Amino acid sequence: MSRARRAAAPDSRRQPRSHWFLLGQFLAVVAVLLLVAAILDGQDGEGPKRSVSTGGSDEVPAAVLSGGPIIDLTDPGAPGLRVPPKTIVLTFDDGPGPETGRILDVLDRYQVPGTFFVIGNAVAGRSGLLRRMADGGHEIGVHTFTHPDLAATPAWRTELEIEQTQLAIAAATGEVSDLIRPPFSSHPSVLTDDLWRAMTRVGNYRLVLTDLDTRDWARPGPKAIAAAATPEGSDGAVVMLHDAGGDRDQTVAALDTYIPDMLARGYTFATVSEAMDVPPQRLEASTGQRLRGQVTLATVQLSDWLVTGLNVLFIAAGALAVLRVLVLLLLARRHDRGTRRAARSAVPPDDASLPGVTVVVPAYNEAAGIAACVRSLAACDYPAFEIVVVDDGSTDDTAEIARSLGIAGVRVITQVNGGKPSALNTGIAAASYDVLVLVDGDTVFERDTLRALVSALEDERVGAVSGNTKVGNRRGLLGRWQHVEYVIGFNLDRRMFDVLHCMPTVPGAIGAFRRRALADVGGVSDDTLAEDTDLTMAICRAGWRVVYAPTALAWTEAPATLGQLWRQRYRWCYGTLQSMWKHRGAVLSRGAAGKLGRRGLSYLFLFQVLLPLLAPVIDVAAVYGLFTEDWRVIGLTWLAFLAVQFIGAAYAFRLDGERLRALWVLPLQQVVYRQVMYLVVIESVASAFYGIRLRWHKLQRAGAENW
């Protein structure tokens, strides 16, 4: 069996679908990590806050309200313990954070211990700080996992917040703690019923409140912080400071003067356990707690990396999209000016000087459209041309219809089905002229299209010319989407590729070629499913220029259903990937081939492969932003992006002489149609990975008379 027949034959293997399962699993993992990030988002620590707790202090024992700040929750009716005179317990909340290391440096310098109440999610990525605390004789306590107001959280969440923080401590130090301090807490006298109920449910802990709240989070200045941390007379005190949750430069500066001053006044610094003359509760964590803690910290770390990566990716993708539109507009304008300037200065050629043209029409089951195609070609205003219809083993009346038209200069050749490349090569071999126009069997030409195509070949350096393909059946929503896509994407891109000398595709619907250029590359190859892209890239690599003729109009029938659209774009995308891989060596080449490789192939890879593959994740990030950021900012960003797209679309429509009213479908196209195209790319890349060999997909045609 020939290569063409093998390409045309269906693959006997059923295409695997595991990539969709893997994509679903991947997006599910991304969604879970984003959910984790959303839960953790915004928990920056202490700050101005109106407590949502209610109920006053009717349920809090009077002994607790009037007692010391260290409360044994196993005996909740007993008064809290007070720190001995001339003793200071330095406590730090909301860490570990960027300033924790500096605070530890200050404590180590003066050989002063501290007690750190850590936020569990903040431990991720900073486990080394907790190990340093434990090794340095400091104590570590629980300050919840996400810093909520425990007075307003349900019991199940309170339990989860404490448990997950213990796991984080266990993963970092190998130990667990019996110390706890709830967020937004202060002196025992201001305990509310809600918070007290939450604390009495937590179990075997020592609740550590405070005597002196420095409110250093408000950044009142180092002197004010030091003054707020100084007890009256010779009293002892539990002092509340913060090592994270914001800029803590003032806290660090205050400690550097406060500690030596208090030491000079005869004060002793101690941890909570030392101040109470209780042996430190170094409770060893179980293996299970350590492992679960490591999983917890890894999940938090991954979610943080994911959000950071998505933010970078979202910004980069948006910037690239905007940059792409700007570059397309600039180069399209340059191309348009050059085309108009050349048209004004050109002398209309004498008909006798125009080269003869052979129009080759490969056709397979094109009964619905072949008559309109051939009639439009025959009606072209061109002095010398012939039409060769190659019927590639059609099972309908394609050949008979073409013959029955009775148009002079039309030849119909029939052959056994061998695939489109085989049909094209048959027509090229039978051509009488050295300029060949290759046309799909469903294409309809304008009267002056042949002249516009051939005029671009006046430059002897030009080996191929791309025409301007337009959607004929644009009445339905799907047709309008494709119409907008053709005008914006296909034709703006081709103007850019022309200016940059890196045209990757002359469409099968309309293209003109020199016979010498075709001979240089060995004719039309059947190595890929996108024979037009493969052929164009080969011609570029052979040193020929490939240009775009925007006035050479050809009308084609776009897929009328999503199923047909999927099959067509799947074949196009898969074939383009094959062609890019086949011609990958152009990236390292010089001259015309190098321009194709470093400009054309890089552009295709970035905007037609890489970004579409990343699109599902970017879309998930956008949805995440709607729920975690200011939705108005996200909405305005999307509207700004849409505005840029609309400006590009409007300019493209103006260049092509199209009515702008069709652009009303653009917003919906960005939401719906774009997703389908992204899924096509994913399916195509998966097929390439599997090594699937696809058959030629034949679309169901309605015929030009039904457009």
**Catalytically active residues, by annotation:** 93, 242
- The alpha helices in 413-561, defined as continuous H runs, are 420-430, 449-455, 477-485, 492-500, 515-520, 531-541
Q: Which of 116, 290, 143 minimizes the C-alpha distance to 205?
A: 143
Q: Which two tokens stand for residue 127?
A: 């486990």
C-alpha 182: how far from chain center: 39
Q: Which of 523, 546, 549 minimizes the C-alpha distance to 596?
A: 546
**3-state DSSP call for residue 235?**
coil
DSSP per-residue codes, 363-393: ESS-TTTHHHHHHHHHTS--SSEEEEEEEES
| Residue in the block written with tokens 């337009």 | 470
Q: Can you give the length of the chain in residues?
A: 707
Residue 81 DSSP one-character state: B
The amino acid at residue 359 is: V
**3-state DSSP call for residue 522?**
coil
CA distance 41 to 36: 8
CA distance 660 to 64: 75
**3-state DSSP call for residue 282?**
coil
Q: Which residues of 649-681 are buried (b: 16+ CB within 10 A; e: fewer)?
A: bebbbebbebeeebbebbeebeeebbeebbbbb
CA distance 517 to 545: 10
Kindly give the pairing relationship between strand 70-72 and strand 410-415: unpaired
CA distance 496 to 452: 19
Give CA angle at 43 (40, 49), nearest 5°: 145
| Residue in the block written with tokens 């001259």 | 591
The answer to whether 651 touches 541, Cβ cutoff 8 Å, is no
Q: Which two tokens stand for residue 381?
A: 């205003």
CA distance 590 to 529: 27
The answer to whether 403 touches 434, Cβ cutoff 8 Å, is no
Q: Which two tokens stand for residue 84?
A: 């001995």
The answer to whether 239 touches 212, Cβ cutoff 8 Å, is yes
The amino acid at residue 14 is: R
The answer to whether 64 touches 190, Cβ cutoff 8 Å, is no
The amino acid at residue 366 is: E
